[in-house]
Amino acid sequence: MEQTLEFAREAHAGKPQLPLALRLIQNTGVQKRHLVQPIEETLNHPGFEVRNRIYEMESKKRCPEVIEEALANAQLTAEDIDAIIYVSCTGFMMPSLTAWLINHMGFRYDTRQLPIAQLGCAAGGAAINRAHDFCAAHPDSNVLIVSCELCSLCYQPDADDIGSLLSDGLFGDAVAAAVMRGRGATGVRGVQLERNASYLIPNTEDWISYAVRDTGFHFQLDRRVPGTMEPLAPVLRELGETHGWDAGDLDFYVIHAGGPRILDDLAKYLGVDRTAFRHSSATLTEYGNIASAVVLDALRRLFDEDSAIPGHKGLMAGFGPGITAEMTLGTWV
């Protein structure tokens, strides 16, 4: 936090919007972030081509170790995986990294590939939902989910509007992976998914967006975004009701933390104690907003806490551009 504020003061000294931006950055609650490059290199912009080359190099360098850990946790090998869902909105590759993973990590050549590139922070929830759909259609299958978000490669040194300055102090870099098993397994813990849903708030498509320019992706954030939990909370309640559950009275929550107000408002409108979102809050504090990887890291914290018992009911949800919500209900087993 201290480094971020100091760099912001130096880079944007004398600009009238700086005091407000500094206050907003302080209010994010982000105390620490991890960047794929040293901060001095992050603040430099060598051009979109060079940055995208860094994205490709770093994703190939960092994803395999995380994937191996996820496979080991699921008691599987690469050959056991039937589909790979790869989510990322911070760099571009064609073919997708899925092709490289299949060629270099021992996945079968008939493995299905599903890259998701344009759902931003909602993509973590979308990946879980699409994996759920795949396993529902193919019950003996196993799906690998990979999230690679190198948000710092989207930093634009010349962008000094409030939205850009806030995002510069909010987003961090992360790689995450998880495995979904179609029929579960003996000796492993996890969430048995039961129902998923998607929802788009009408006429909000320009509230979170990228402007694609010569210098790369320019993140654009509307000031109304923090208020989106008010219309989304009833959607979450309706999802719970269709399943016979009360979304405001569940045992665990894995929620995308775009910022502290998102969690504050969702607690308010769902009528749950703010501590129910402690895993998402911890991710935000220790890593920043790591886009699609937030829900996977918050889920990891649920595993690590080891407080859930068989039969506990829970909700997972990711929010992002659209404004899109991807929601899942499941039971701990």
For residue 195, pLDDT beyond 80: yes
Higher model confidence: residue 150 or residue 19?
A: 150
Q: Are 60 and 103 in contact (CB under 8 A)?
A: no
Confidence at 24, pLDDT banded by 50, 70, 90:
confident
- Please confirm whether the linkage preceding 25 is cis (ω < 30° from 0): no
| High-pLDDT (> 70) share of the chain, % | 99
Phi, psi of 330 (to 5 degrees): -160, 165
For residue 164, pLDDT beyond 90: no
CATH number of 2-181: 3.40.47.10
Position 265 scores a pLDDT of: 93
| High-pLDDT (> 90) share of the chain, % | 72
Domain at 191-332, CATH class? alpha beta
Position 54 scores a pLDDT of: 96
Position 123 scores a pLDDT of: 95
Distances, alpha carbon 82 to alpha carbons 108, 114, 135, 144, in Å? 8, 11, 10, 8
For residue 163, pLDDT beyond 80: no
Give pTM, 2 decimals: 0.94
Identify the CA nearest to 26 among candidates 228, 256, 259, 226: 259
Position 128 scores a pLDDT of: 98
For residue 317, pLDDT beyond 80: yes
Q: Which of 18-27, 138-147, 219-228 has the highest mean pLDDT?
A: 138-147
For residue 61, pLDDT beyond 80: yes
Position 333 scores a pLDDT of: 93
The string of pLDDT tens digits covering residues 301-315 is: 999 999 999 999 999
**What's the longest Cα–Cα distance across the chain?**
61
Phi, psi of 199 (to 5 degrees): -155, 140
Position 258 scores a pLDDT of: 83
For residue 166, pLDDT beyond 90: no
Structure token pair of residue 333: 């087993």
Q: Are 231 and 169 in contact (CB under 8 A)?
A: no
Confidence at 32, pLDDT banded by 50, 70, 90:
very high
Higher model confidence: residue 236 or residue 20?
A: 236
- Listed in sequence order, the residues at least 6 apart from 41 whose beta carbon sits closer than 8 Å to its beta carbon are none
All CATH 3.40.47.10 domain ranges of the chain, comma separated, are 2-181, 191-332
Position 187 scores a pLDDT of: 75
Higher model confidence: residue 261 or residue 60?
A: 60
Q: Report the C-alpha dihedral over residues 220, 225, 231, 234, rounded to 10 degrees.
A: 100
Q: Can you give 21-77 as a three-state secondary structure string?
A: HHHHHHHCCCCCCCCCCCHHHHCCCCCHHHHHHHHHHHHHHHHHHHHHHHHHHCCCC
For residue 186, pLDDT beyond 80: no
Is 43 exposed, middle or buried, given 0-12, 13-18 or 19+ CB atoms closer than 10 A? middle
Is 286 exposed, middle or buried, given 0-12, 13-18 or 19+ CB atoms closer than 10 A? middle
Q: Which are the catalytic amino acids?
A: 121
The string of pLDDT tens digits covering residues 97-144 is: 999 999 999 999 999 999 999 999 999 999 999 999 999 999 999 999
Position 210 scores a pLDDT of: 81
Identify the CA nearest to 199 among candidates 106, 96, 325, 318: 325
Q: Among 32-46, 135-149, 205-219, 239-253, whose mean pLDDT is lowest?
A: 205-219
Is 116 exposed, middle or buried, given 0-12, 13-18 or 19+ CB atoms closer than 10 A? buried
Task: Compute the mean pLDDT over every residue in the chain, rounded to the nearest whole number.
Answer: 92
How remote is the C-alpha of 224 from its chain's centroid?
A: 20
